Amino acid sequence: MNTFSDARELITGVVLAGGQGRRMGGVDKGMQRLRGKPLAAWVVDRLQSQVGYLMISANQNLERYAEFGCPVVTDQVPGFAGPLAGLHAALSAAETPLVATAPCDSPFLPDDLVFRLFSALTAADADLAVARTFDQQHPVFCLGKRCLLPHLTDFLASGERKFARWYATLNVVDVPFDDVAAAFENINTREELSDFERD
């Protein structure tokens, strides 16, 4: 395998859009429009060219998400259990050895996100590669091995829900993105959405 274009076929990307959007008033955040386009559609467009296959993790508005042209998977863990449950659903559905995630509320994610995660994962022979800017880890921007599924299943079955606690049990490599830190800005509230609308 000589180029990342070859490696892309080993990677399924997943847009994490399964939350309840509490800080945005309980609406489906991925369907909120920025400059005329749903937030999740921005992420689909950015991520699609970086992976061999793409799916969306969602728990509501499934038909609308399906209109983006990607398979839609739902949490197997009940009760809106968070992004780790979305990763679990993606690992369960993926047929590739690697799965990359990005949240639906970060519309300007880096164009080379997956390439840099893959390079670091391979070089470190790690279980999981996670984006970091300066001293802040971004756990929902990650690339992991699908063979982690049984481990994650057991972790969620124990009642745990936090990415950081799961990562602590794995061989994880942090991948610096200090040069494009602004690309990881996320939109959590209507006010933040309005601010990005004006930019």
Which residues neighbour 75 within 8 Å (Cβ) at sequence distance 6 or greater?
A: 18, 57, 59, 81, 85, 86, 88, 89
Please tell me the predicted confidence (pLDDT) of residue 21: 54
Helix axes 113-124, 39-48, angle to 10 degrees: 60
Q: What is the pLDDT of residue 1?
A: 45
pLDDT interval class at 72 (50, 70, 90): very high
Q: Are strands 11-17 and 136-145 parallel, antiparallel or unpaired?
A: unpaired
Best CA proximity match to 172, nearest among 187, 151, 193: 151
Residue 147 has pLDDT above 90, yes or no: yes
| Burial track 5-29 (b if 16+ CB lie within 10 A, e otherwise) | eebbebbbbbbbbbbebeebeeebb
Over the stretch 6-29, which tens digit does the pLDDT of each residue have?
A: 899 999 999 999 765 555 556 788
Q: Across residues 161-170, what is the average pLDDT?
A: 90
pLDDT above 70 (res 172): yes
Q: Give the pLDDT mean for 160-177.
A: 93
pLDDT score recorded for residue 92: 96
Tokens of 59: 């728990």
Which tokens is 97 given? 């050895």
Number of residues assigned to the chain: 199
Is the pTM higher than 0.95?
A: no
pLDDT of the residue at 78: 77
Give domain 4-193's CATH superfamily.
Spore Coat Polysaccharide Biosynthesis Protein SpsA; Chain A (3.90.550.10)
Rounded Cα–Cα distance for residues 158 and 164 (Å): 15
Asked if residue 125 has pLDDT above 70, the reply is yes
Strands 33-34 and 37-38: antiparallel
